[in-house]
Amino acid sequence: MIAELGHFALITAFILSLAQGVLPLFGAARGNSAMMLIAPAAAISVALAVAFSFGALVWGFITSDFSLALVANHSHSTKPMIYKISGTWGNHEGSLLLWILILAIYGGVLALGGSAMPMALKARILAVQGMVTTGFLAFSLFTSNPFLRLANIPLDGKGLNPILQDPGLAIHPPMLYLGYVGLSMAFAFAVAALITGEVDRLWAKWMRPWIMAAWCALTCGIALGSWWAYYELGWGGWWFWDPVENASLMPWLAATALLHSAIVVEKRGQLKSWTVLLAIMAFSLSLVGTFIVRSGLLTSVHSFASDPARGVFVLAILLFAVGIPLALYAWRGPQLVTTADFTLTSREGGLIANNMLLVVATAIVLLGTFYPLGLEMVTGARITVGPPYFDATFNPVMALLMVFMAIGPVMAWRRGQTARLRPVLICAAVGAGIVALAGSSFAFGFGIGPLAALGLIGWLGAGIGADIWQQLKPNGTAGIGARAKRIPNDVIGMWVAHFGVVIFMLGAVGDNLFNSEQVVRAKPGDVIQIADRNVTFTGVKQVEGPNYQALAAQLEYRDEDGRFFALLTPEKRVYNAERQTTTEAAIRPTLRGDDYAVLGDGDSKIGYTLRLYYKPLVSWIWGGAVIMALGGLIAAFGRQRAATKQASPQQNTASALSTPDGGA
């Protein structure tokens, strides 16, 4: 009954979002307020309807309603409740409904807020949003209905893939979707701007919180996914250049470029057409990601069950949602071009360099991901483009970006100047040298690559530090405290976010260069040495879990003085319902590094294979990403401080509207 109501709510949402997508555009074109007001009303209704529908589906999973085909195929009565709930989106149909839910909620939030926006602009934005939502609702209702019932109700479900029964999975997709789908708002802003042919600084100002929210969520979502792969897949790796990972990285790169270029539009009124293009590209890449995951064309450890027929529907959505705006851009884009009034050696130039490098990186990942498919279509040959390719092409571009990261924020707008720049450059260069030398003293004989990586870390870290010091040091008229109070939030956010990059690099480089590993076949009583630890393998124990049986190795960790400090129990689990075996690594994370232990094959006679690792600083990888997101959050609440210093908001609005490129 509830599922049928949920289905009905979904159909209602489809009709409402269709209205939301079409009518307000006519209203905005004719200045008809009644038609324009349909937009927020419809958006809120759609959000409520989809929320109810999603709730109905979750209810089906919670109550283990096996008459629902989806629940029967992906759940089991003995699953812990949290995984019953998260199982809702551990499959294609449910995750698609989650995607639609977040789309609808974003639209609803804009409908409720955004009171400063002119009605016509808001109507157009919500209309574009509505069209995208309609497309996805159609996808769900016509090809991927989550509410299908089974004629013969099974006694119990088929269970959820054990690898997915994990707290990381519970949060990873919702967080990721908050990012992917959040970019649809920036997309809607951009398409609305193309429809009217006008972009102004207020437009960029209103768009900014949506970009930041999506970017922060996407950063966290990708970090979560990477961390989950690290502890769940048992290899200790955290990035594999897998097509689905690439699908999440590409929108992130584009969104990073977007949030930087939007700054230039907001502050200087420059780079308008470029920002519009980036906003379209970022969400388009989210959609391309959806295509990759759900069409089954690219093999990946992450794909849902592949179904080419669904791929056709996603391709159709892509053609409309990406093709039309890009055509619009080709037509209307040149109208948005403004005359440049800056030299290339200025902050604008630095941000252009940032954007160019990020877009090149995005293009590299896109090409590498699709090249095997493209080549196969042309010549029939099958090749693989794997991590070695991306390491050779993507990493140097990112390295260049890091170089500019220390320089760009220090340059002045318009003409650039060297007074502030030179001390920062000197500090950065010195920092680079120190870290490179210090790092290489830890381990002999480093090659050029590792030295360069260490140098980059020192360069960026020292550069940021020098910039901060320059801004804070007492300069005769004000002490540190007074100077600190005057720094706007978005500058603090930038420092924090860029610092997050340094932390991330320290983690990546620390783990890659300084890790230790031991692979042994051990019998009970054996002592294995790894890094500065002595590990005693005392044997294996049978463990019974809620829905699995496990063999757990008992590893006693002692430090150099023989003091016991941890017991690690890596497991090999057999899940009853799904009849699948998984390996659960035992990880002891600390700030200094992770102890990582994996139990391999074997028995009591010949002993067990044990793989022990010590990974220095590896959690800094995800810590750095979280710090980056934090910086974004700080910057999102950005203009508060600066605004109170300048004219009041009303005056700002009035002055902006009086300029030729005023709001729509």
Partner 1 sequence: MSQMRLSFLLPLVAFGILALVGGMALYGTLSGSRDPTQLPSVFVDKPAPQTSLPRLVQTGSATGNNVSVTMFQGKPVLVNFFASWCAPCRAEAPALEMLSKRVAILGIAYKDRGEDTTAFLQQYGNPFQAIGMDADGRTGIEWGVYGVPETYLLDANGVVKLRHAGPLTRGVLETTIFPALEALGS
Partner 2 sequence: MMATGLWRTHILIGIALLNMAIGLVFISATITPARAITAEEMLANPVLEERARNLSKQLRCLVCQNQSIDDSDADLARDLRREVRSQIAAGTSDDAIIDQLRAKYGDYVLLNPPLDRATLFLWLSPLGFIILGGLIVMMARRQRGAAIANELDAGERARIEKMLASRDSENRPKT
Which residues of this protein are in contact with partner 1, per CB under 8 A? 273, 277, 280-281, 284, 288, 291, 295-297, 299, 308-309, 311-312, 315, 318-319, 322-323, 326-327, 329-330, 333-334, 337, 366, 370, 373-374, 376-377, 380-382
Indicate the residue among 402 and 550 with the shorter CB distance to partner 2: 402
> DSSP character for 323?
I
Q: Is 528 helix (H, G, I), strand (E, B) or coil?
A: strand
CB of 522 to partner 2, least distance (A): 9
Tell me the Ramachandran region of residue 556: left when phi exceeds 0, alpha when psi lies from -120 to 50, beta otherwise: beta
CB of 452 to partner 2, least distance (A): 4
Give the burial class of 222: count Cβ atoms within 10 A of its Cβ; 0-12 exposed, 13-18 middle, 19 or more buried.
buried
**Residue 428 binding result from partner 1, partner 2, none, given CB thresholds of 5 to 8 Å by partner type:** partner 2
329 vs 194: CA distance, rounded Å: 7
CB of 167 to partner 1, least distance (A): 33
Q: Tokens 């690559």 — which residue?
A: 449
Indicate the residue among 380 and 447 with the shorter CB distance to partner 1: 380
Contact between 105 and 68 under an 8 Å Cβ cutoff? The reply is: no
**Residue 284 binding result from partner 2, partner 1, none, given CB thresholds of 5 to 8 Å by partner type:** partner 1
**Residue 151 binding result from partner 2, partner 1, none, given CB thresholds of 5 to 8 Å by partner type:** none
Indicate the residue among 128 and 385 with the shorter CB distance to partner 2: 385
568 vs 555: CA distance, rounded Å: 5
> Alpha helices of 88-118 — where are they, by DSSP H?
92-112
Indicate the residue among 43 and 502 with the shorter CB distance to partner 2: 502
**Residue 386 binding result from partner 2, partner 1, none, given CB thresholds of 5 to 8 Å by partner type:** partner 2
Indicate the residue among 1 and 309 with the shorter CB distance to partner 1: 309
**Residue 318 binding result from partner 2, partner 1, none, given CB thresholds of 5 to 8 Å by partner type:** partner 1
270 vs 654: CA distance, rounded Å: 20
**Residue 133 binding result from partner 1, partner 2, none, given CB thresholds of 5 to 8 Å by partner type:** none
Angle between helices 33-62 and 119-143 (to 10 degrees): 40
Q: Tokens 């949506």 — which residue?
A: 210
Indicate the residue among 335 and 343 with the shorter CB distance to partner 1: 335
Indicate the residue among 13 and 599 with the shorter CB distance to partner 2: 599
Residue among 245, 76, 248 nearest 161 (CA): 76
**Residue 329 binding result from partner 2, partner 1, none, given CB thresholds of 5 to 8 Å by partner type:** partner 1
Q: CA separation (Å) from 542 to 550, 553, 573?
A: 6, 9, 10
Residue among 251, 279, 106 nearest 190 (CA): 279
Phi and psi, residue 262, nearest 5° = -65, -30
CB of 255 to partner 1, least distance (A): 16
560 vs 566: CA distance, rounded Å: 13
**Residue 315 binding result from partner 1, partner 2, none, given CB thresholds of 5 to 8 Å by partner type:** partner 1
CB of 460 to partner 2, least distance (A): 9
CB of 337 to partner 2, least distance (A): 7
CB of 276 to partner 2, least distance (A): 14
**Residue 134 binding result from partner 1, partner 2, none, given CB thresholds of 5 to 8 Å by partner type:** none
91 vs 73: CA distance, rounded Å: 9
Contact between 538 and 554 under an 8 Å Cβ cutoff? The reply is: yes
Strand 533-544 versus strand 580-584 pairing type: unpaired
Q: How many CA atoms lie within 13 A of 646 on its CB side?
A: 12
Indicate the residue among 281 and 530 with the shorter CB distance to partner 1: 281
Element (DSSP H or E) covering residue 520: strand 516-522
**Residue 237 binding result from partner 1, partner 2, none, given CB thresholds of 5 to 8 Å by partner type:** partner 2
Q: Is 32 helix (H, G, I), strand (E, B) or coil?
A: coil
**Residue 509 binding result from partner 2, partner 1, none, given CB thresholds of 5 to 8 Å by partner type:** partner 2
Indicate the residue among 70 and 277 with the shorter CB distance to partner 1: 277
CB of 361 to partner 2, least distance (A): 9
Indicate the residue among 197 and 333 with the shorter CB distance to partner 1: 333
DSSP letters, 462-499, are HHHHHHHHHHHS--SS--HHHHHHHS-HHHHHHHHHHH
Phi and psi, residue 406, nearest 5° = -80, -20
CB of 482 to partner 2, least distance (A): 30
CB of 470 to partner 2, least distance (A): 16
Contacts of 511 (CB under 8 A, 6+ apart): 593, 615, 616, 617, 618, 621
**Residue 494 binding result from partner 2, partner 1, none, given CB thresholds of 5 to 8 Å by partner type:** none
Token pair, residue 103, equals 């789309």
CB of 69 to partner 2, least distance (A): 25
CB of 294 to partner 1, least distance (A): 12
CB of 99 to partner 2, least distance (A): 23
Indicate the residue among 311 and 423 with the shorter CB distance to partner 1: 311
Indicate the residue among 262 and 397 with the shorter CB distance to partner 2: 397
Phi and psi, residue 396, nearest 5° = -60, -35
Q: Tokens 């002490």 — which residue?
A: 479
Indicate the residue among 486 and 521 with the shorter CB distance to partner 2: 521
Indicate the residue among 367 and 543 with the shorter CB distance to partner 1: 367
**Residue 525 binding result from partner 1, partner 2, none, given CB thresholds of 5 to 8 Å by partner type:** none
**What's 189-245 look like in SS3?**
HHHHHHHHCCCCHHHHHHHHHHHHHHHHHHHHHHHHHHHHHHHHCCCCCCCCCCHHH
CB of 390 to partner 2, least distance (A): 10
Beta pairing partners, 529: 534
Q: Is 524 helix (H, G, I), strand (E, B) or coil?
A: coil
**Residue 456 binding result from partner 1, partner 2, none, given CB thresholds of 5 to 8 Å by partner type:** partner 2
> DSSP character for 525?
T
278 vs 326: CA distance, rounded Å: 11
